[in-house]
Structure 1
Amino acid sequence: MTLLQISKLDRSFETGKGVTKALEQIDLNVNQGEFITVIGPSGCGKSTLLKIIAGLDTSHEGSVLLDNQKVSGPSIDKGFIFQEPRLFPWLTVEKNIAANLPVKENATQGRVRELINLVRLEGFENAYPKELSGGMAQRVSIARALLRNPKVLLLDEPFGALDAFTRSHMQEVLLDIWQKNRTTMIFVTHDIDEAIYLASRVVIMNPRPGTIREVIPIELNHPRRKTDPAFQEIRQRVLSEFEKVEEFEKTAAVR
């Protein structure tokens, strides 16, 4: 079942030098329960695409439909995870997760406890952000975004600032969440291995103006091993596409 439909999406920005096109003719359908990763060179519009899907940026041309409804602004149907956790420093883990939720207190507490277990933060309910590691703080952000059961979870390089060990652990945590809940996820990253390791499909973008170069299905069962021949074969295919992206960028620069 198709959950998200993006058709002929264009986004331009006014700059001191005139109009700069960030995205051009983006067409993408995302099915319910898919895990999509988006990779591409810096400045190709990956984050802009996420913000448009989230309804945080509505100054675009083209169509964005979520569950057959036009995306016209932020809503509880869409959860967003930024590159940094953005927690309230004066609130505990439990209260950060439940912040600004307009539901009955007993319902909130039950759901918060469920999510604390889901993101593996048992025992840290009363800890404050300053007492958490980077990975733990990002887990709080994920739990908060999942609180209202969004139809799609949008993640903008959420593990980019983490060390390699913590990043690997967070990938496992996120996969565990996805496998248990089957929340549709769209995950932006610069890391090719991360993109392949997590995804149902990898979307590769060309440099600005951002267009979709290739969509590669990842037909590997979980758990995946990055050293397996099948994984490495897909990695070589993705790298080959990136070499074409680099050539595309050089050609565009000459023009």
Structure 2
Amino acid sequence: MSTILDIDHLNKTFDTPQGPVQALRSIKLQVKRGEFVTIIGPSGCGKSTLLKIIAGLDTAHNGQVLLENLQVDRPSIDKGFIFQEHRLFPWLTVEKNIAADLSIKQPEVRKKVDELVGIVRLQGFEKAYPRELSGGMSQRVAIARALLRNPKVLLLDEPFGALDAFTRSHMQEVLLDIWRQNQTTMILVTHDIDEAVYLANRVVIMDARPGTIRKIVPVDLPYPRKKSSTAFQEYRRLVLNEFERVEELELIDSSGI
């Protein structure tokens, strides 16, 4: 697979009343076309900041971020972004939310919307409004809306964080179905180690203060994966051990030892 995203020596500093705070330091990451990458780390390690920089939502940084060899310097339709909150238009139906600024009366848009409704498993809810949907259904609409633009990379910032455990598990399956069918490159930020291992080809583990990449763990398991399997638990323990080392370093840092 060819490289679609190339991040090199990325640094990000925020100016605060107490002085400059470095959020990201020397981030170096390459993502292959069609790959599923998850990013995990403690709160405040810069996971969401990194995602926003990749999306072109934050351009005040140093370093290189290339998408298909072009510098990322603004938001665009080739970078889909899914927030933790679905951000649907409450006055539009499911199908019109997916179409958004495109006219659903156009045959090609109508056809694509219908296809995506099937992919995200929302048949029968095309005419429903956001108030009539569950949290998981609303996130499926948001994902379909992003996919309608055929993004080169889909960025997901803890999209299932507010969902209950059952719905979250279901949404993981939906997302994997979408990934397999569309072969869209996906980068997902999560706090959930099981989710990170279950979904990803590679898990990126981050340190905090400032945010750096501690380790990248390739997950060499076939899909579909069983969370109860011995192989899955071995990968989970590997990621958990690294994550616990990050937290230990944070405690030492905060105690001044």
The CA deviation string for residues 48-101 of structure 1, in whole angstroms up to 9 with x for no partner, is 000000000000000000000000100111000000000000000000000113
Gaps of 5+ in 1: none
- Structure 2 residue matching 1:186: 3-state secondary structure: strand
* Partner Cα separation in structure 2 for residue 73 and residue 109 of structure 1: 28
* Partner Cα separation in structure 2 for residue 210 and residue 30 of structure 1: 19
Aligned twin of 2:31: 30
Gaps of 5+ in 2: none
- CA positional deviation for 1:106: 1.4
Aligned twin of 1:44: 45
1:211 partner letter: T
Superposition pairs for residues 194-205 of structure 1, below 5 Å?
194-205=195-206
Aligned twin of 2:64: 63
Task: Count residues in correspondence.
Answer: 255
- CA positional deviation for 1:239: 1.1
Q: Which runs of 4+ in 1 moved over 4 A?
A: none
- Structure 1 residue matching 2:222: 3-state secondary structure: coil
1:232 partner letter: Q
Aligned twin of 2:157: 156
Aligned twin of 1:235: 236
* Partner Cα separation in structure 2 for residue 196 and residue 100 of structure 1: 36
Check if 1:191 corresponds to 2:192: yes
* Partner Cα separation in structure 1 for residue 249 and residue 26 of structure 2: 17
- CA positional deviation for 1:104: 7.5
Aligned twin of 2:142: 141
Under a length normalisation based on structure 2, what TM-score does the superposition of the two structures give?
0.97
* Partner Cα separation in structure 2 for residue 244 and residue 160 of structure 1: 23
Aligned twin of 2:250: 249
Under a length normalisation based on structure 1, what TM-score does the superposition of the two structures give?
0.98
Aligned twin of 2:218: 217
* Partner Cα separation in structure 2 for residue 225 and residue 103 of structure 1: 39
Aligned twin of 2:127: 126
2:27 partner letter: I
* Partner Cα separation in structure 2 for residue 62 and residue 202 of structure 1: 22
* Partner Cα separation in structure 1 for residue 72 and residue 238 of structure 2: 34
- Report if the CA contact (8 A) 2:153-2:186 is conserved: yes
- CA positional deviation for 1:102: 7.2
- Percent same amino acid at aligned positions? 68
